[in-house]
Amino acid sequence: MAEDALMINISSAPEKFNKKTNRRPLSTAEKWAQKKRESKRKTVFEPQESSASKQRKINQTGQQHTHKQKPQTPRSPSQRSNNRDTEENADQGENSAAKSPSKVKTFPKKAPEEHGDHGRPFIKTSSLFRNNPEIPDVLSPAVNQVKEKVFTSNMFEELNLHPHLVATLHKVLNVTSMTSVQKKTIPLLLSGKDAVVRSQTGSGKTLAYGIPVVQFLQGMQPKVKRSDGPLAVVIVPTRELALQSFQMFQKLLKPFTWIVPGVLMGGEKRKAEKARLRKGINVLISTPGRLVDHIKNTLSIAFSAVRWLILDEADRTLDLGFEKDLTVILNALNATGLARQNVLLSATLTEGLSRLASISMKEPVTIHVSEGSEETVEACPQAAPQALSDSYVVPERLQQHVVVVPSKLHLVCLAAFILAKCKFEQRQKLIVFISSCEAVEFLLTLFTAILCEKPSTTSTKHTSASLNFYRLHGNMRQEERTEVFQEFSQCKTGILLCTDVAARGLDLPQVTWIVQYNPPVSAVEYVHRVGRTARIGAQGSSLLFLTPSEMAFVDVLANHNISLSEMKMEDILANLMKDERFKGRGKWDSKRSAAAFEQEVRERATVLQTDFENYVHANNESLQTAKCALQSFLRAYTTYPSSLKHIFHIRSLHLGHAAKSFGLRDAPQGLGSSITTNPANSKDSKKGKDKAKRPPKKLTAKERVSNLMRSEYLSGIDGESKSKKKRKKKKGQEEEEQSTTA
C-alpha cells in the first residue's frame, strides 16, 4: 500500500558523521530500507534495468524505487506533524495495474521502525503521481485568429469636443489618439443614435461612451442642475466596475463642476445613498440589483430627465441573472416617455443578444470593431470558415496557454506556478480565477501559511518578502472589497485570488498573467477573464488549467476562434527546483541524470503537498475550511451550462483526487446528497453502478435558472440569495421609514 509513500522522520536530532568515511551512520529506518532494497534486488529486481525502464517506472508510480529512502528532517513540527494517515481512500483499488505487479513489493503494513527506534513516527504521503489519468497532448485546432487594431492615428481634437474636455483627456487621463472603437463610436453617439458596440477587452469602450455623454451634458441648455436628477444612467454588473466607471466620470467631469456623478452599489449603506439621491446625481452609475432596490424603496429617485441609458458589459447584464432587474429598470425609465439614447457595449455581444437588446432601442447601429476597415484576419488555410459573430476577439499581444493537470496535482502545480512567477521573476502581477468564494479564502490562507516565508495578515495584503496575496470575492465586506481593488490596482507585483467578480470590465494596470485555476463557465467568460491582461495594446499571458477529462474545452474555445498553446505540467513543477524549502530526501546534484532531475521534482512536489496536507489536518478548523472549500468547488462544478455538461460533469470528477487538491487526504464523507460524483470512483461501487445506469436527472428550466443564480452567488457577482435579499429588503424599508421620519 505504501510502496511509494514518502517517509519522513520528524526527528530534528542532529546527525553525526563518521569522519573516516565522511558519512553519517545509517538510522534504523535507513538500514531497514537498505535491507529491503537488497532483498528486493535478490528476489525480484532486475540488476541491469535500463534507464528507459526506470523512467517508465517513475512514470507509473511517481517514485523511483531504486532511490534511497532517507529520513528527512522536518522544517517545523507544525508543518510535518504527527500524521500517519496515508493513501487516500479513493486510490484504493482504482488502478490495479499499478498495484498488482509482482515486481512491486509493498512495505509491510506496520514496519518495526514505523514508530522509530526512538519512538518517532513517520509521515507518509500518498503518491501524487500515481493513479492519475493519462495526459494526452493538447491538439488545439487551427483557427482563423481575428485581430483588431487597438489604436488609430486620429486625435480627439478632430471630434469637435469642448476644449476643456480635450484638455482633460490629455492632462488627466493621459490619452491623445483615439482607439478604433472610440473612433467609430463617439461620432455616432454624438449624432444622437443608439448603438450596440462590440470590441475587444481593454480597447477603451468606457471612454467611447463616457466622452459623448459628457460632451452632451456640458452643452445642455438650460444648464444642468443637481435637482434635475439622473440625466445619464450607466448599468454595470459588478460593484468594482461601478466604482471604476464612476471614477472615470469624476475625471471627465472635472472642468464641468455643475454636473454631478454618483454611484450606487450593493454593500454600501442605503441611507447614505438615499441622501445623495435626494441631493441630486446627474450621472448615475449602478449595479442592477441596487438600482432596483432604490426604484422600489427610495421615494426621491426620479427618472423624468434621463437622456442616456448605457448598459456596459451588456451581455452579462442582459443574461438570466439580471433579466428581471433590468425589466424593472427599463419600465421605470420608459414611464417618463422622454427620448433617450441607448448604448449596449461588451467584448462578447452576440447577434442573439443584440436582437434582444433592439427591443428596447430605436434603430440601433451595430459597431463591431473587427468588422470593416480595422479588421485583420490571419489566414489559416486548414481552418474552417467561421461566422464572425461566433468568433471572439482576444488582444493581439496576449499569449494564451493551457496546461493539463490531473486533479490531484492541481494544488502543487498552481503553487509552483505562483512561486515561479512571483518569487523567482520580477514585477509579475497575477490574477487567479477560482470558482467559489470559499475556495478563494481557503487558498489564500493555505498559500499565505505555506508559500510565504513570514506571513502577516495585518492588512488586506497577505505578504512575505516576495509574495503579496490579495483576494476578491462576493462574500467580503464592501469596504474590504473596495480597499483590495484599489490596492491591487496600484501594486507593482502581487497575486489576486478571486472569483468571477473580477472577470468583467476591471481595468487593473500591469497585470502580466491571468491564471484560470478553475475553468470558466463559457467561452464568453474565458474571453473576459483573459481580458484583464494585455489591455490597450500591452503584452500579457494567460494560463488555463484543465484536467485530462476537461480537454475538450480547448475545442469549444477553438469554435470561437481562440487558440491555445500547451504548457507542460512537468515544466511548471520543475520550478520547485528553485525553492530549497521543498527539497527532496536526497542531496540534489545538478549533474545528475534527467531521470534523477524528474525524480527530484516529484519529490519536491510531494514535500509541498505534504506541507499543504499537514497544514489542513493540523486542527479541526482548517480541516473544516478545506472541506467547505471542496464542497463549494463541487457545487460550482454542477453549475456549468448543459451545453458544456459533456465536458464538465460532476460525475466525471474523482472525488478523492479533487479532495487532494484541497489538501485533504481523503474524500470527506457526506459532502451533501445533492452532489453526485463519479460512481466508478465511489467507494460504494454497487450503489455507484446503480446510479451509473440512471440517466442524469433532467433539470427543469426553473432549476437551471436557480443553478445559474447559485453560481453567481458562489462567485459573488451581484447576485444575492433569496433570503439575503428578503432580509436586506426589510432592512431597507426600515431605513427608509427612519429617513423619511427624520
Footprint on this chain of ligand ATP (rule: CB under 6 A): 173, 175, 178-179, 182, 201-207, 347, 505, 507, 531, 535-536
Strands 375-377 and 195-198: unpaired
Q: Cβ 494 to ligand ATP, closest distance in Å?
A: 18
The CA-atom distances, in angstroms, between 19 and each of 28, 29, 132, 587, 589 are 20, 21, 45, 19, 22
d(CA 85, CA 68): 22
User: Which CB sits closer to ligand ATP, 54 or 535?
Assistant: 535
On whether the CB atoms of residues 457 and 448 are closer than 8 A, the answer is yes
Q: Cβ 682 to ligand ATP, closest distance in Å?
A: 42
Residue 9 CB contacts under 8 Å (≥ 6 apart), including other chains: 27, 29, 71, 72, 73, 116, 120, 122
* Distance, C-alpha 513 to centroid of its chain: 11
User: Which CB sits closer to ligand ATP, 146 or 422?
Assistant: 146
d(CA 358, CA 351): 10
User: Which CB sits closer to ligand ATP, 26 or 491?
Assistant: 491
Residue 144 CB contacts under 8 Å (≥ 6 apart), including other chains: 377, 378, 379, 380, 383, 385, 386, 391, 561
d(CA 239, CA 719): 11
Q: Cβ 235 to ligand ATP, closest distance in Å?
A: 14
The side-by-side arrangement of strands in the sheet containing 468-472 is 462-463, 468-472, 494-498, 429-433, 513-516, 540-546, 398-404, 565-566
User: Which CB sits closer to ligand ATP, 205 or 654?
Assistant: 205
User: Which CB sits closer to ligand ATP, 252 or 655?
Assistant: 252
User: Which CB sits closer to ligand ATP, 127 or 533?
Assistant: 533
d(CA 102, CA 104): 5
User: Which CB sits closer to ligand ATP, 252 or 277?
Assistant: 252
User: Which CB sits closer to ligand ATP, 152 or 478?
Assistant: 152
On whether the CB atoms of residues 527 and 563 are closer than 8 A, the answer is no
Q: Cβ 617 to ligand ATP, closest distance in Å?
A: 41
Joined together, the cell numbers standing for residue 519 give: 475553468
Q: Cβ 205 to ligand ATP, closest distance in Å?
A: 3
10 Å CB burial of residue 16 (0-12, 13-18, 19+) is exposed
β-bridge mates for residue 341, sequence order: 308
DSSP 3-state of 498: strand
d(CA 441, CA 36): 44
On whether the CB atoms of residues 527 and 398 are closer than 8 A, the answer is no
Q: Cβ 243 to ligand ATP, closest distance in Å?
A: 13
* Residue 84, number of CB atoms within 10 A of its CB: 13
User: Which CB sits closer to ligand ATP, 507 or 611?
Assistant: 507
Whether the CA torsion 658, 660, 666, 668 is positive or negative: it is negative
User: Which CB sits closer to ligand ATP, 451 or 524?
Assistant: 524
d(CA 263, CA 272): 11
Q: Cβ 167 to ligand ATP, closest distance in Å?
A: 15
Q: Cβ 210 to ligand ATP, closest distance in Å?
A: 8
Strands 398-404 and 540-546: parallel
User: Which CB sits closer to ligand ATP, 205 or 481?
Assistant: 205
- Provide the phi-psi class of 229: left if phi over 0, else alpha when psi is between -120 and 50, else beta: left
Q: Cβ 289 to ligand ATP, closest distance in Å?
A: 20
Q: Cβ 437 to ligand ATP, closest distance in Å?
A: 22
* Residue 622, number of CB atoms within 10 A of its CB: 18
Q: Cβ 388 to ligand ATP, closest distance in Å?
A: 18
User: Which CB sits closer to ligand ATP, 504 or 604?
Assistant: 504
Q: Cβ 349 to ligand ATP, closest distance in Å?
A: 11
DSSP 3-state of 365: strand
Q: Cβ 496 to ligand ATP, closest distance in Å?
A: 15
The helices-and-strands tally (H runs, E runs) of the chain is 24, 21
User: Which CB sits closer to ligand ATP, 49 or 157?
Assistant: 157
